[in-house]
Amino acid sequence: MTSFENKCKILADLWMNYRDDEEFEDFCDYNDIGLPLAYFVTSELVELNGPAEIYISETFDLLCAALGLPLNAAYDGLELMFEVSRMQE
């Protein structure tokens, strides 16, 4: 299972590097709270609390679903997730 810290790093990476990518436009629009929140947590700009953790976890679950990836796997980076997703096609 992906650690919460890695979930935040992965989502922050997606938000910072792919939010203007047409392929992720709808995903980023829908997750307009979870993605920047993950970035803020990773950057230590905000302290994590219960509601923030729920938003981030739900956003990560939606990313896994969008990429067709199982939730119970351990991912340590966004590029790995993209690679595994491509292998499943």
The rounded distance, in Å, linking the Cα atoms of 34 and 26 is 14
Radius of gyration of the chain (CA): 12
Of residues 47 and 61, the one with the higher pLDDT is 61
pLDDT of residue 4: 96
pLDDT of residue 81: 96
pLDDT of residue 88: 80
Whether the predicted model's global pTM rises above the 0.85 cut: yes
Q: 58 pLDDT exceeds 90? A: yes
Neighbours of 19 (CB within 10 A): 16
Contact 74, 2 (CB under 8 A): yes
The mean per-residue pLDDT over the stretch 47-60 comes to 95
Nearest Cα to 12, choosing from 50, 39, 31? Answer: 39
pLDDT of residue 44: 93
